[in-house]
Amino acid sequence: MAAVPMMELISCFAAATPTAAAPIISRPTRHRHRHRRAAGVLLRCAATAPAPMGEKTEYRDGPLERAFMGLFARKMEKYASSPSSKQRKPNNPNRAVWEWDYESFVDVSRRVMVGRTRAQQQEAVREVLLSMLPAGAPEQFKKLFPPTRWACEFNAALTVPFFRWLVGPSEVVEVEVGGVRQRSGVLIKKCRYLEASGCVGMCVNMCKIPTQNFFTNEFGLPLTMNPNFEDMSCEMIYGQVPPPIEDDPVSKQPCYPNLCSMSTPSAPVCPKLQN
């Protein structure tokens, strides 16, 4: 058991838990449920659509989702600046992991950015991710999941249940990698992290680039993430090597002036992407 990477164990546990966070749509939406039995566990998968752009998707998080939020937030607090007097009350580091909420998690992420360059923000996320894995996990991952089509498709399938608490509903989609069509893509319908933060810089520096680099460099499994800032969706492509940041369209993305508290509306590019 110890040889299996922690992230994969958590992924399988999340997939087999009927308390996966389900969004509550602000307007009437039909819900379709399908059930299947696996290892004696009844799994319920809710087919839902996130709120359209301009409307806020609400989520009902269970103890498992809150535990993920608390686990990540506690690790990130080590790199976060202290809250200012204008900000919400500081998080109580002694509370149980399942007593955290998504707003607290995003608040910690925002404070990690304060006083750090783009590269330093990305390194902080890398350190957080490594701290959540047992010693030798990246090497074991490389042995178990060499960059084959099967490994790419398998990790895409695991991403849907594992990252649901972080990015919201997603689905596996077919993509083209090296001229081959394969089901190693994940379409995030409306990224919860981007929606909650409203910050282009947080999306790129605290999620996209660190996640791409972590899978590509630490795990040896190439990953490219393509956020769509028009509708807040995002496509993840396992097996595709990410481009250098200077060649990536996100490097020229302006702020969300009406959503981000740290935005600079007059700047043609989000300042957090330039330092």
The pLDDT tens digits for 29-39 are 343 434 333 33
pTM of the model: 0.79
Contacts of 79 (CB under 8 A, 6+ apart): 112, 124, 127, 128
Question: Would you state the structure tokens that stand for residue 109, as one six-digit string?
Answer: 């992420």
Q: Under a CB-based contact definition with an 8 Å cutoff, are residues 22 and 59 in contact? A: yes
Q: Which of 134, 130, 89 is nearest to 107 (CA)?
A: 89
- Domain total of the chain: 1
Query: Where residue 265 falls among pLDDT bands split at 50, 70, 90?
Result: confident
Average pLDDT across the chain, whole number: 81
The β-bridge relationship of strands 180-188 and 223-228 is unpaired
Max CA distance (Å), the chain: 57
Domain that holds residue 233: 6-273
Examine residue 253 and state whether it is found in any structural domain, yes or no: yes
3-class SS string, 17-31: CCCCCEEECCCCCCC
Q: Under a CB-based contact definition with an 8 Å cutoff, are residues 137 and 6 in contact? A: yes
How confident is the model at residue 55, as a pLDDT? 78
Question: Would you state the structure tokens that stand for residue 147, as one six-digit string?
Answer: 């960059």
94: pLDDT strictly greater than 80:
no
Examine residue 238 and state whether it is found in any structural domain, yes or no: yes
Examine residue 1 and state whether it is found in any structural domain, yes or no: no
Average pLDDT over residues 72-101: 72
Average pLDDT over residues 216-234: 97
Examine residue 69 and state whether it is found in any structural domain, yes or no: yes
Query: Where residue 258 falls among pLDDT bands split at 50, 70, 90?
Result: confident
